Amino acid sequence: MKLLFIGDIVGEPGRRAIKVLVPVLRLQHGLDAVVANGENSAGGSGITPRIADELFAAGVDVITSGDHLWDQREVTDLLLNEQRFLRPANYPAGVAGQGARVFRVDGRPPFAVMNLQGRAFMQPLDNPFIAAQSIVPTLRAETKVILLDFHAEATSEKIAMGRMLDGQVSAVVGTHTHVQTADEQIFPGGTGYLSDAGFTGPHDSVLGREIEPIIKRFLAQTPQRFDVARGRTLLQGALMDIDETTGRTRSIQRISETLSV
């Protein structure tokens, strides 16, 4: 199975990159599935049903999220009504939505996606390690192909999760920092790993936002408006080739595609 995971989509430039580049990448790599983190796709913060529909129409099969999940109030409609949208699975019981699911796309082999949020330097949700241990066996009963989007700040927390799940999931890919790391690898048990997929959006920026207001904030510690930047736009993520029978990753590589103006 050829699976593309796309790092955090930031604002309109990121959405435009998805619309233009995902159809090209699907053909170029013969992709079976595309998963994207969409938690920053609405004006750089949160997601709405309309924007989710845009991403699905462009060729994204599953959308994951993270700590900006609640930034747009319309997200509740997604959580209640859209099976292809995931929130971190380690929210307390009773919270709307789902954090893991098996997907079947156009008759292709089933694959599962799980979304978890870290706790180091983040909002203290339930323990993601315990949540993973609880959820993975249920997913493996239906498919060996399992991708985890671990939305976390600390690299050590992400690596520890990958090591714990080695041999139990196909890949652990980190999101949240918006900085693509260069540590893609396959652990001994066959789990592909990348600490951070990077972000899809304007890269002449500070993590997708205009540069000057953020510098002013650091200089003066006064409130600033952090608008989404413009200019050079990249689609970043990880491309994986996964054995459908065993769930082991055969290869994992970073991608960083430029959107031509």
Active-site residues: which are they? Answer: 68
Is 229:210 a contact under the CB 8 Å cutoff? yes
**Gap between the Cα atoms of 172 and 146, Å rounded:** 9
Q: Which of 60, 175, 40 is nearest to 118 (CA)?
A: 175
Which two structure tokens, joined as six digits, stand for 77?
């409609």
* Distance from C-alpha of 111 to C-alpha of 87, rounded to nearest angstrom: 17
The shares of helix, strand and coil residues in the chain, as percent rounded to the nearest 5, are 25, 30, 45
For the chain, how big is the Rg over CA atoms in Å? 17
State how far the Cα of 203 lies from the Cα of 207, in Å rounded to an integer: 7
Half-sphere exposure of 86 (CA within 13 A, CB side): 26
**Residue 4 β-bridge partners:** 34, 239
Separation CA 149–CA 125 (nearest Å): 16
DSSP annotation of 124: -
Parallel, antiparallel or unpaired: strands 62-64 and 111-117: unpaired
- Give the span between the Cα atoms of 161 and 155, in whole angstroms: 10
